[in-house]
Chains A and B, each alone.
Chain A
Amino acid sequence: MSTPARTARRSGLRSGEAASGWLFTAPMIILLGMFLVIPVLMALWVSFSDWNGRGSPFGGTVSFVGLDNYSALVGGGGLAEQDFGTALRNNAWYVLLVVPTQTMLSLLLAVLVNRQILRGRGFFRTAFYFPSVTSSVAITVLWLFLFSASGAVNKLLAFIGINGPNWFNDPSGVLHNFLGLFGVETGPAALTGNTFLGISFWEWLAGPSVAMSAFILMAVFTTSGTFMLLFIAALQNLSGDVVEAAMMDGANGWQRFWRVTLPQLRPTLFTVLTLGLIGAWQVFDQIYTGTQGGPGKTTLTPAYLSYQAAFTNQAWGQGAAIAFILFVIIVAFTLFQRWLLAERQVSERRMRPYLQNPTSGGSK
C-alpha cells in the first residue's frame, strides 16, 4: 500500500466516495442528533429553568433559575433533598450487592459449564441464560408472585423452618434487622444525629430494605446468564498452553484458576464490571412495574425519582437535574473502576525473584 497507489485510486475508482460516505452515515447522524444530542441539550436547559410542563420549555414564561434545582437536591434541606438522599442510598446498596454477586456468579457458572467433558452442557447453558431474554416487566410480575407474603419463596423457607418476611411490603433495612437480632434497635448518637443529603448516617447504614433485597435477587437472576456468556467466550479464547505449562509446574486446579486463568480474564472482568455498574445504577423498569418506590420509599431509585418528579409532580427542572447527577455518578463510577482495574506496573518487590534468576521467569 504505497501512497501514490492510494491517491490514484481515490481520484479514479473511488471518486464520489466522500459524498456516499456522508449519505450513508446521514440517517444515523440525523437520528442520533435529533433523539440524543439535541434532547440532552434541551434537558440541560430545563434543569436550569423553572418550567412546569405547560407550554414550550423555550417560551417566554419560563425563566432561568441557575443552579436552584441542583442545590435543592443536594442541600435544600427539604423533602426533595431527603428523597434524593434516600434514592441514592437505596441504589448504592443495590449496586454494592448486585455488581459483585452477579460477576462472581456468572464467572462461576461459566467455569462450571465450560468443562470439556460435561453431559448436558447445552441444557445447562440454556437454563442459566434464559432469564436474560425475558423482559424486566414479565420478570417483575413473576417476582411479585413468588415473593408475595404466602408465595412460593416463603413456602420454601417454611420447609426449613424460617418464617419468611412479607417481601415487597417490608421497608426494614436488612442490616438494621441483623443488628436487631443482638438487641441493637437505635444507633449511637454520632450516627443518628448527623445527616448527609437529608438522611442520618444511621439510615444510610440501614442496608437495602427487605423489598429491595428481592429486587437485588431478581437482578442477579436475570443478568448472570448474559455475563456468563461473556465469560464463556473469553474462556474459550484462552490458549491451553499456559494452563498446561502451569500443570507441568505442579499447580493444582485451584492455583491454576486464581493464578493463571483469572489474570487472563482481566479484560472480560473489566467489561462485565463496567456493564454491571452502568446497568445497576439505572434501576427503573422494576420499580415502575413493581413497587413505585414503596414501601416507605425504600425502593426509590434516582432513575425512578427523576421520572416521578418530572412526569407526576411536574417539577421538570428537578427531574432533569436528578438525571444529570445520575449521569455524573455513572461516569464517575466507571472511571474510578477503570482506574482501579488498570494494568499496573508490577512492584519491584514482586518482580525481584524473577530479576535475580531470569531463567525461572519464562516457562519455555
Chain B
Amino acid sequence: MSTTTRTRERTVSPSRRLRALSREQLPNRQVAGKSLLYAILIVLAMIYIAPFLIQVATSFKTDGDAASNPMSLLPQTWSTAAYERLFLNSDFPVWFQNSAIVTVFVTLGRVFFNSLAGYALARLHFRGRNVIFALLIAVMSVPGVVLLIPKFLVINQLGIYDTYVAMIVPLLTDAAGVFIMKNFFESIPASVEEQARIDGAGTFRVFWSIVLPMARPALVTIIILSFQGSWNELSHFIVATQSPELTTLTKGVASLASGQLSQGTQYPLKLAAAAIMTIPVAVMFFIFQKRIMNTTDGAVKE
C-alpha cells in the first residue's frame, strides 16, 4: 500500500526536497526490511558467483600459488602456463573440435526432425496420430541413465561403435523437443496455412516456407536446449566411443579430473580446461538471456 502512494508522490512532485521528505516518512520497519532483503540477495549472489571467479583466477596461477592461496582472486604472478599446455601440448583442441562437431549436427538435426514431427502431430490429420503421441509421452518418461547399457548394445550390434555416427545419431532422439514443437504449432492460427494450401502449395512446402519461419520462438528454445544438452553430454560418449581422436570435451576433462593425463594436482590446468568448456554455453546463455530468463513481462521497466 505505502509503496504505491510513495511512487505517486514521486511522479507528482519530482523536486528533491519533497522526495527526501517522503523517504523520511517511510516507516523504519520497511527500510529495515528492504535492507535485509538486499543483504540476503547480495550474500546469496556472492555464494553463487564466487566459485566461478575463483575458478578463472586460479586458472592463471602457478601450481604452488593455487595450492597455497586457494581463495585469492588475484594470482601472485600471472601465468598462462595452463592455457599454453592445454592448447599447444595436449589433445584439448581435438576434444574441443569433437564437441563442436557433435553439437552442431545434433542441434541442426533436432531442429529439423523435432519441428517436422511436431508439425505433423499438431496439424496433419492421419490415422495413428494419437498412438504416436501416446508412445512419445511414454518414451519421455524413460530416465537417461537407464539407457547407458541399452545404447551400447544397439551401437555395438549396428557396428557403428567408435564413430561420429554413433556419437551424433542417438542424440537426435528428443521426445521432449517434439512435444515443445507440437505445443507451439497448436498455438498459432491455422488460417495462414489454409490460404497457402488453397493456392496449391504442397504439405512440405507449407511447412518449410510458411509454418517454420513463424515458429522462431519455439525453434530458439529447441536450439538452446539441444546446444546445452549435447555440449554438456557425457555418459553417451562414454558408451559410444573409446578412441582418443573421438574424445569430446566432457570426456576429456573428466579424464583430466581423475588425473589420467597429469602428475600431481595441477589445479590451474584442470580449472582452465573446465573454464574454457564453459565459455560456449555461457555465450549461448548471454545471447538468449532475455528468452531464457523470461524477464520481458516484468511490471517495472528499468
List residues of chain A with CB under 8 Å of any chain B CB: 10, 13-14, 16-22, 24-25, 27-29, 31-32, 34-40, 42-43, 46, 56-57, 109, 112-113, 115-119, 121-131, 133-142, 144-146, 148, 150-152, 155-156, 221, 225, 229, 232-233, 236, 247, 278, 281-282, 284-285, 288-290, 292, 303, 306-307, 310-311, 316, 319-320, 323-324, 326-327, 330-331
Contacts and interface: CB of A to CB of B under 8 A. Distances in A.
B143 interface: yes
Contacts of A247: 1
A116 B295 CA distance: 11
Contact of A35 (B169, B228, B265): B169
Given A131-B48, A288-B254, 12 more contacts: A20-B124, A20-B203, A29-B117, A39-B150, A121-B295, A127-B49, A128-B48, A133-B282, A137-B274, A138-B274, A146-B54, A310-B152
A145 B58 contact: yes
A133 to B, nearest CB: 5
Interface residues of B, number: 101
B253 A151 contact: no
B257 A229 contact: no
Interface string B272-302: 0111011001101100010011110111101
B299 A327 contact: no
A272 to B, nearest CB: 16
A68 to B, nearest CB: 17
A129 B292 contact: yes
A303 B141 CA distance: 16
A121 to B, nearest CB: 7
B45 A128 contact: yes
A56 B161 CA distance: 13
B37 interface: yes
Nearest to A28: B117
Given A20-B204, A128-B44, A152-B70, A35 B253 contact: no
B269 to A, nearest CB: 10
Contact of A32 (B37, B139, B149): B139
Interface stretch (B75-83, B84-92, B127-135, B212-220): B127-135
A330 B142 CA distance: 9
Given A27-B116, A40-B147, A151-B70, A145 B278 contact: no
B116 A31 contact: no
Nearest to B294: A233
Interface in B219-236: 228, 231-232, 234-235
B210 interface: no
A129 B143 CA distance: 24
Nearest 8 A/B pairs, CB to CB: A39-B150, A21-B126, A24-B120, A135-B232, A138-B274, A43-B150, A18-B126, A21-B124
B2 to A, nearest CB: 12
Interface in B193-208: 194, 197-198, 203-204, 207
B118 to A, nearest CB: 9
A141 B273 contact: yes
Contacts of A32: 135-136, 139, 173, 175
